[in-house]
């Protein structure tokens, strides 16, 4: 069922009625997403105490990202809950004039993406002048990518020329971003201890795989206005958010934990029972 007046809201969620299974699945996807971010906010704060002082800001920034993303996803969940009403066997959109929008995701990405990119340069311990320069060079195309994508996504309810034109423009900025991230990765490989040089290389491929989910979700409405597409897009967005924020934060935290241990920081070495330095510390303590 399509509600023509809903086209003004620019999201296909306002045009498609959902079965009970589709509505419940969408609710669960959003609930798990915000719940995971809030839970790991605590983890990242606690993880910071194991790190050498120069690296503690990395998980702290992840905690900030978790709080921001969790609040945004909670808002999306609340909108989802209030934007449908059960009529017969179907959940019909625009209950009592309310509307669902994915625009809050773009607003959150404007906050969190610059933090995520800056984390990368900090974790690789780049010199301060280079850190500032490279972070800015990543942040500029990232913000342009997000906001051009936001403008384009309002065409998903039928103005596919707008969706695709601005999607291509957003992709140009994404390619620019990839080039800048690759430069940071290269500097990170050169600046990493020999034991950790594989980490930046793996992070590069992880970055491409996880960030590549977003344009797929962006383009999905062109496959049809169906409940399955609505749910599939929420699933893709949420998988991308969790992997590019939460799991990414875990990877960087584990990297700087190992780096802290290799640089002789005892609490980090003790936390790494499998590392040579951790074993050495444990034997000295008689553990």
In tens, the pLDDT along 31-76 reads 999 999 999 999 999 999 999 999 999 999 999 999 999 999 999 9
CB 238 within 8 A of CB 32: yes
Give the model's pLDDT for residue 217. 95
In tens, the pLDDT along 71-116 reads 999 999 999 998 998 999 999 987 555 688 898 999 999 999 999 9
pLDDT: is 120 or 6 the higher one?
A: 120
In tens, the pLDDT along 197-227 reads 999 999 999 999 999 999 999 999 999 999 9
Residue 286 reports pLDDT greater than 50: no
Give the model's pLDDT for residue 279. 53
What is the pLDDT averaged over residues 20-25? Answer: 97
User: Domain total for the chain?
Assistant: 1
Give the model's pLDDT for residue 60. 97
Residue 273 reports pLDDT greater than 80: no
What is the domain-level CATH number for residue 164? 1.20.1070.10
**Domain, as residue range, for 233:** 4-285
Name the pTM for this structure.
0.89
CA-wise closest residue to 25 among 226, 231, 259: 231
Dihedral angle sign, alpha carbons of residues 5, 6, 9, 11: negative
Q: How far apart are CA 287 and CA 275, in angstroms?
A: 15
Dihedral angle sign, alpha carbons of residues 250, 254, 260, 264: positive
In tens, the pLDDT along 126-171 reads 999 999 999 999 999 999 999 999 999 999 988 999 999 999 999 9
Give the model's pLDDT for residue 100. 87
CB 242 within 8 A of CB 40: no
């Amino acid at each position: 069922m399509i509600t023509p007046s809903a086209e003004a809201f620019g999201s296909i969620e306002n045009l498609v009625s959902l079965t009970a299974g589709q509505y419940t699945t969408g609710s669960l996807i959003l609930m798990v997403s915000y719940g995971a971010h809030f839970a790991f906010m605590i983890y990242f704060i606690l993880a910071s105490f194991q790190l050498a002082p120069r690296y503690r800001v990395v998980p702290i920034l992840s905690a900030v990202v978790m709080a921001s993303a969790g609040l945004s996803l909670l808002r999306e969940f609340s909108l989802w809950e209030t934007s449908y009403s059960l009529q017969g066997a179907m959940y019909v959109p625009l209950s009592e004039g309310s509307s669902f929008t994915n625009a809050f995701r773009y607003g959150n990405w404007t906050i969190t993406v610059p933090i995520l990119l800056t984390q990368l340069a900090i974790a690789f311990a780049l010199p301060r002048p280079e850190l500032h320069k490279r972070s800015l060079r990543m942040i500029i195309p990232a913000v342009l990518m997000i906001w051009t994508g936001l403008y384009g996504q309002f065409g998903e309810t039928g103005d596919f020329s707008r969706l695709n034109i601005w999607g291509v423009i957003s992709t140009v900025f994404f390619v620019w971003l990839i080039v800048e991230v690759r430069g940071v990765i290269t500097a990170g490989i050169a600046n990493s201890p020999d034991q950790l040089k594989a980490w930046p290389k793996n992070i590069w491929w992880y970055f491409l795989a996880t960030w590549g989910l977003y344009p797929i979700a962006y383009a999905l409405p062109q496959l049809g206005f169906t409940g399955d597409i609505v749910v599939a897009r929420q699933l893709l967005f949420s998988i991308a958010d969790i992997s590019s924020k939460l799991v990414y934060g875990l990877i960087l935290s584990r990297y700087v934990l190992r780096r802290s241990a290799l640089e002789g920081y005892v609490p980090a070495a003790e936390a790494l029972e499998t590392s040579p330095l951790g074993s050495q510390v444990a034997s000295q303590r008689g553990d």
